[in-house]
Structure 1
């Protein structure tokens, strides 16, 4: 995997911007469904929106075209998300993770009773075996995971309790029934940036410098992967 990571960096450094594809960046959840609630009471959608904005800007800074999906939080249907991405070359849905009730502990934050976990943290990348372009989904997921690890991020192994590994070393897992991954014509991944129920990681996930570093790693891996797989260029 180290050789693959170096190969990805080489391809990125030599690629011309005109060859780079269109990436659909989807913000998970929305106005009617805020998603999970963090250890300090913040909705997942707000975390997703913040990081998706950083990721989209990072991709654009590298002259990749970006299609923003659900940045206003108005898309309520899961099937409408991949439909909004039609015509793109890759689809990435941005999320933040939680944990089951059995692993939550009570605590008080600013006078309000909340819950948190101490047993799960780290990123995760999901692919569906039912995706119409599983091969590209897998290659790109592994490339992004490799770049995240190279940047110092640690994948969560918690997903191994429920999901089959696709590339566990780089934090990639199968989640076959995710609608946004299989109801699409595009190669696709769902990215869990971290666990917002973990008190320390919640604060880390809100750090702009960390967000920028994570977005840079994802953009590096994805851009290099799409060059390897020969996805069509966009104007």
Structure 2
């Protein structure tokens, strides 16, 4: 699915109506998620980037509902429930890889693992989501804006998931609770692979984080303007 040109430029050419975006921080205090090549928990990566994304969305005139920024939500189903009444749900994550593809290395005297074969972002939608068309369009628009900003999608997900829009890094992941246990259009975003030594450092770079958040925020706002989803006072 390649987006029409007007979607890519809409963010800068229209007066976007205010939407409320629910930004969810993946994992939490009892479940740190994946562990990076240097031993940092995924939740910390997720929270840092989600905070930057929330700021960029707000700066663009969107309303933001922060979900699980304190890491206290233990139930996956409780996340979309906490977003009820918003216009869109996006869950922020960082990726890992299966044990078979991990290599040993030592970082600051501690034995760790890393990968050299997987890196890049991914966007996931569920065919069971009640508003799949909007979920798909927004995922593709965000992916297109990420590519235009110089980011590369990972093709690794094609090993397990059906492509929704592989060109823009969008894949089906139908049984993700946060994507189908909601009444909202929803996307799960994997910002990159923290088990990749080089990409881990890139994912912690503030300038890169800001550029990625800008691409997501502009793509999402453009998509919601096209669909008319944020047409609320």
TM-score band, normalised by shorter chain: over 0.9
SS at match of 2:220: helix
Tell me by how many angstroms 1:9 deviates.
3.9
Alignment partner, residue 43 of structure 1? 41
**Residue 94 in 1 paired to residue 67 in 2?**
no
Q: Partners of 2:126 and 2:182 in 1: how far apart?
A: 11
SS at match of 1:197: coil
**Residue 172 in 1 paired to residue 175 in 2?**
no
- 5 Å matches for 1:159-198? 159-198=157-196
Unaligned runs of 5+ in 1: none
Alignment partner, residue 228 of structure 1? 226
Conserved in 2, the CA contact under 8 Å of 1:22 and 1:234? no
Alignment partner, residue 119 of structure 1? 117
Tell me by how many angstroms 1:13 deviates.
1.9
Tell me by how many angstroms 1:7 deviates.
1.0
Q: Partners of 1:208 and 1:32 in 2: how far apart?
A: 26
Please point out which of 72, 77, 80 is paired with 2:78: 80
Alignment partner, residue 59 of structure 1? 57
Spell out, residue by residue over 1:110-165, the C-alpha distance to the aligned partner (whole angstroms, 9 max, x if none).
00000000000000000000000000000000000000000000000000000000
SS at match of 2:65: strand
**Residue 152 in 1 paired to residue 150 in 2?**
yes
Alignment partner, residue 134 of structure 2? 136
Alignment partner, residue 11 of structure 1? 10
Alignment partner, residue 24 of structure 2? 26
Conserved in 2, the CA contact under 8 Å of 1:20 and 1:227? no
Q: Partners of 2:31 and 2:3 in 1: how far apart?
A: 41
Q: Partners of 2:147 and 2:110 in 1: how far apart?
A: 36
Q: TM-score, normalised by structure 1?
A: 0.97
Unaligned runs of 5+ in 2: none
